[in-house]
Structure 1
Amino acid sequence: METILEIRNLTCGFQNQPVLTNVNLSLYPGQLSGLVGPSGSGKTTLIKAILGLVPPWAGEIWFRGKRLKPGTAPPKVGYVPQVETVDWNFPVTALEVVMMGRYRKQQFLPWSSRRDRIMAKALLERVGVAHIAHRPIGELSGGQQQRVFIARALVGEPEIVLLDEPTSSSDLRVQHELLHLLAELNQQGLTILLSTHDLNSVATHLPWVVCFNHSIIAQGEPSDVFTPAILKETFGAEMVVFHQSDRILIANAGTSLRHQMQDNLPQILRKVHLNHNGHKP
């Protein structure tokens, strides 16, 4: 199968300090992938390199079999930035935020067309937040804000969408809702790559995982990639992997041990009390 996006031997960084080293990655049409790694591992830099915002020192990026010029984004790509990078106090409504994604499509027109407005409203409906179209973006909940930005990424009619830590500041319920939404969009044919450091959400919702720390450590299905050895190489810490039915649960080894001690503490204290009073435990 022909790739939709291919990264070949990519190296780049800032101020003579490399961040990505010899990265090779292929994404295929209709793929739903998670880019997982610790904070500071270069996940955001990789996404920005794909978008043409970080120039490569070496290597190439190809889209649909054509090499992209350095500093050029793929022609049909949507982008959802980290929530921390957005000015939520900017005086715009949810609908206006989505309309911003049409600017590149409008080309010569400085105003939106009727078709653009209809499409933006339809996309807010599609992601489940049509009822907040005219509310200021800063008044929305975190989950609503993320859905609005997903709609903005879709309004440009992309073939691939890149999301940078879309669930980083969301509670567990919102995380699951957003990941289910992305899975639905993927089932409709959209290619998706999202970065995250939330291993358990990835293991539960995403069929393909790329473990990343300045370069690719491993990639594959979560059941194959999420092993203690690969996770240690990726995150620099001992991890414990639990298999429960068809689910994978991952915990820091030190944290897992502390929880086991806490769970067993009542039984341990009971034994100490019995021994102290001369009774056989």
Structure 2
Amino acid sequence: MLLGQQQPSSIKKIKCMEPILEVRNLTCGYQTQPVFTDLNLTLYPGQLTGLVGPSGSGKSTLIRAILGLVRPWTGEIWFRGRRLKPGVAPSLVGYVPQVETVDWTFPVTALEVVMMGRYQKQKILPWSSRRDRQVARELLERVGVAHVAHQPIGNLSGGQQQRVFIARALVGEPEIVLLDEPTSSSDLHVQHELLHLLADLNQQGLTIILSTHDLNSVATHLPWVVCFNHGLICQGQPIDVFTPANLEQTFGGEMVVFYQQDRILIASGGTSLRHQMQDNLPQILRPSNSSKSA
């Protein structure tokens, strides 16, 4: 079984629970232009979900609406059976932003970045307590970067920076964490490490939603996928969802899907396919005579 993959029986068990997040008839947009309309989406506790779609498809807008950073035009968002107030940040929801939105030159250490996520837990005192600092250090240890706690955030590698922001998202003790394109500017090694870390956190009970356009990482690492392009296209396990028809509807272009045992490989169609297969794909995933396409 691949990393992060759940048995069908486990998925059925998850769906017997009460939803952790429900998006009901949600419409969002900017100025007079809607991004998506009448969106309905339900997610359950313990799911590790990839939200996939092209740039500009509305993935970030949906995440920002859940976080209260975008006010929906119409519709509702429910978390743990309670309706969220539009434009109000919900508690128990962690967030890892796109790396492009972070000012890496800001003079702050890794530990101080994590402490920023602790502020919403503080009710009276405007400064951090000894317990807050202890929790922050423990989380840096948990995500494998305790040794950089007192280094400036701008001096860290891309993978270390992402781990620090994951620790910041966890420091508020959330039940669900949303990540917006966490591997968009990372190399393959960093992507692999981050997805392993997220899978480990998910195994410990954390519900995770991450947006991405990296289909092969999703197919390899994540047990549930939502295809999104200005609305819900389809959702399910990668083996069921990643078909040429669904991917063309999602990304607006021809996609080729290869299967080899329990692995899925996706490449864009046309003349670039052979080049991608030869230069970028590991040997185990290259199509053989036994491979099938759909």
* TM-score, normalized by the shorter chain, greater than 0.5: yes
Q: Distance in 1 between matches of 2:39 and 2:195?
A: 26
Equivalence for 2:159: 143
Equivalence for 1:251: 267
Matched, 1:51 2:67: yes
Amino acid at match of 1:218: C
Q: Distance in 2 between matches of 1:73 and 1:235?
A: 31
Q: Distance in 1 between matches of 2:161 and 2:214?
A: 20
Which residues in structure 2 correspond to 1:192-231 (within 5 Å)? 192-231=208-247
Amino acid at match of 2:178: L
Asked if 2 retains the 8 angstrom alpha-carbon contact of 1:76 and 1:156, the reply is: yes
Equivalence for 1:278: none
Amino acid at match of 2:130: R
Matched, 1:98 2:114: yes
Asked if 2 retains the 8 angstrom alpha-carbon contact of 1:101 and 1:155, the reply is: yes
- Runs of 4+, deviation exceeding 2 Å: 255-263
Asked if 2 retains the 8 angstrom alpha-carbon contact of 1:51 and 1:74, the reply is: yes
Q: Per-residue CA shift, 1:187-206, capped at 9, x if unaligned? A: 00000000000000000000
Matched, 1:187 2:194: no
Equivalence for 1:268: none
TM-score using structure 2 length:
0.87
TM-score using structure 1 length:
0.91
The change in CA–CA distance for 1:261 and 1:49 in structure 2 (over 3 A counts) is: closer
Q: Distance in 2 between matches of 1:105 and 1:230?
A: 42
Query: Deviation at 1:72?
Result: 2.1
Equivalence for 1:275: none
Asked if 1 retains the 8 angstrom alpha-carbon contact of 2:267 and 2:276, the reply is: no
Q: Distance in 1 between matches of 2:40 and 2:273?
A: 36
Report which of the two structures shows the higher radius of gyration computed on alpha carbons.
1
Q: Distance in 2 between matches of 1:244 and 1:21?
A: 37
Q: Per-residue CA shift, 1:160-201, capped at 9, x if unaligned? A: 000000000000010010000000000000000000000000
Percent of aligned pairs sharing the same letter: 83
Choose from 88, 92, 97 the match for 2:104.
88
Asked if 1 retains the 8 angstrom alpha-carbon contact of 2:48 and 2:222, the reply is: yes
Larger mean CA deviation between 73-82 and 210-219 belongs to: 73-82
Query: Deviation at 1:155?
Result: 0.1
Q: Per-residue CA shift, 1:41-88, capped at 9, x if unaligned? A: 010000000001111111100011111121123321000000000000
Asked if 1 retains the 8 angstrom alpha-carbon contact of 2:267 and 2:273, the reply is: no
Asked if 2 retains the 8 angstrom alpha-carbon contact of 1:7 and 1:23, the reply is: yes
Amino acid at match of 1:194: L
Q: In structure 1, list runs of 5 or more residues that go unmatched.
A: 264-281
Equivalence for 2:19: 3
Amino acid at match of 1:88: W
Q: Distance in 2 between matches of 1:31 and 1:77?
A: 14
1:254 match: secondary structure: coil
Q: In structure 2, list runs of 5 or more residues that go unmatched.
A: 1-16, 280-294
Query: Deviation at 1:130?
Result: 0.3
Equivalence for 1:79: 95
Query: Deviation at 1:104?
Result: 0.8
Query: Deviation at 1:22?
Result: 1.4
Which residues in structure 2 correspond to 1:19-168 (within 5 Å)? 19-168=35-184
Q: Pairwise CA RMSD of aligned residues?
A: 1.4
Amino acid at match of 1:103: Y
Query: Deviation at 1:260?
Result: 8.3
Q: Distance in 2 between matches of 1:221 and 1:25?
A: 15
Query: Deviation at 1:126?
Result: 0.1
Asked if 2 retains the 8 angstrom alpha-carbon contact of 1:95 and 1:134, the reply is: yes
Q: Distance in 2 between matches of 1:123 and 1:35?
A: 26
Query: Deviation at 1:256?
Result: 4.5
Asked if 2 retains the 8 angstrom alpha-carbon contact of 1:240 and 1:256, the reply is: no
